[in-house]
Amino acid sequence: MNIVSKLKENPFVLAPMAAITDNAFRSFMKEMGVSIVVSELISSNGIKFGSEKTLAMMKFDSLQHPVGIQIFGDDPMIMGEAAKKVQDMGADFVDLNFGCPVKKVVQKGAGSAILKDLNCVRSMLSTIRKVCTIPITIKIRTGWDDNSRNAHEVAQIAYEEGISWVAIHGRTRAQDYTGLSDWDYIADVKASAKLPIIGNGDIHTAAQAVERLKTSGCDGVMIGRGCLKNPWIFQEALFLSQGSSGVLQKSHAEAFARLRFYLEQNCNEHIVSIQLRKFAGWFSSGYPGGSEFRKSIFQVKLPTEIFNLTLDYFNSVNKFNQIDTSDEKFLMGGHG
């Protein structure tokens, strides 16, 4: 299916997150009602050299379609070769990371550093477009810093170069993860853009997702950290946006079992334990006794032990509603 048509059907997209939106988590999220998934950022140099680890990161299950692979790099030719590889692997689209604020990445002229030079944006897009026939999308920040916000210009170049959409995290590179995503600015870019725009940043609840979609006029909204505390956020947002009054049945036990299933299909026992602890800890945010629970899962080693403690914990809190913890600092760093 055409990825832009998919947005019309369900505009709630999973944000790429390094070490989080891997094959297992994307499959899980797909079951949890997300529209479109994108991999974490993958190095175009790693793809060029065929590193085993990199190629493993590019794997995706067929149930994830439409699925995109996100690549980053500073060299248009190498990015083009990487995009071609993404295409050959059967992904539905290739997403270009023009938003990563991390020093190691921007020092090499990749990620958000590309936004500093609009000629560089154009040459990257036109070079990749020439070798890649699947849709190309880009994910940007609003600009390098407050004095050089240029998402309007980037969106215009993207349109001219045949890009399918621009996803905008509403912070500048200089902001890193401080301040708030500027949705007024995103709405402003959307109002003048000639291609689909996906807004992103600081959506913590389904109600906010629906509100942002409506007030910004965006074609989709992308949610990252919000789904780590509430993995039902996509389903709830879709329900709400369709005016459904139905009550969503939520079972932490069932959801966690599905996540474990996908992790065990993809990772060795050690990684399964690490990931289960991470997700169980995040899902427990805003429930009573969460910090004791998080301590307890660090006292055990095996996936089964973590899983059982998690089921016991969620059984003990299932009468409680999750408290809004969005004012607490949470994952204030990432690659976009």
User: Is 331 a residue that touches ligand FMN (CB under 6 A)?
Assistant: yes
Q: Which is nearer to ligand FMN, 80 or 201 (CB)?
A: 201
Residues 260-283: b if buried by 16+ CB within 10 A, e if exposed: bebbeebbeeeebbebbbebbbbb
| Residue 204 DSSP class | -
Among 149, 169, 212, 252, binds ligand FMN (CB under 6 A): 169
Quick one: angle between helices 303-317 and 269-283, nearest 10?
Answer: 10
Q: Cβ–Cβ contacts within 10 Å for residue 56, how many?
A: 11
Nearest distance from C-beta of residue 289 to ligand FMN, angstroms: 25
Nearest distance from C-beta of residue 9 to ligand FMN, angstroms: 21
In the structure encoding, which two tokens stand for residue 302, read together? 């095996």
Nearest distance from C-beta of residue 288 to ligand FMN, angstroms: 25
Q: Which is nearer to ligand FMN, 81 or 95 (CB)?
A: 95
Report how far residue 197's alpha carbon sits from residue 63's, in angstroms, rounded to the nearest whole number: 25
145: three-class secondary structure by DSSP: coil
Window of 1-9, 155-163, 223-231, 269-277 that interacts with ligand FMN by CB under 6 A: 223-231
- Which residue among 100, 132, 218, 227 is the active-site one? 100
Among 71, 157, 223, 263, binds ligand FMN (CB under 6 A): 223
Report how far residue 201's alpha carbon sits from residue 308's, in angstroms, rounded to the nearest whole number: 34
Residues 99-116: b if buried by 16+ CB within 10 A, e if exposed: bbbbeebbeeebbbbbbb
DSSP 240-253: HHTT--PPPP--HH
Q: Which is nearer to ligand FMN, 85 or 173 (CB)?
A: 173
User: Is 220 a residue that touches ligand FMN (CB under 6 A)?
Assistant: no
Nearest distance from C-beta of residue 290 to ligand FMN, angstroms: 19
Window of 80-88, 269-277, 308-316, 327-335 that interacts with ligand FMN by CB under 6 A: 327-335
User: Is 99 a residue that touches ligand FMN (CB under 6 A)?
Assistant: yes
Q: Let me know: does 10 contact 239? Beta carbons within 8 Å.
A: no
Chain-centroid distance of CA 166 in Å reads 14
| 100 annotated active-site | yes
User: Is 18 a residue that touches ligand FMN (CB under 6 A)?
Assistant: yes
Give residues 233-262 in contact with ligand FMN (rule: CB under 6 A): none
Nearest distance from C-beta of residue 209 to ligand FMN, angstroms: 9
- Annotated catalytic residues are 100
Q: Interface with ligand FMN by CB under 6 A: which residues?
A: 15-18, 20, 40-41, 70, 97, 99, 139, 169, 200-203, 223-226, 331, 334-336
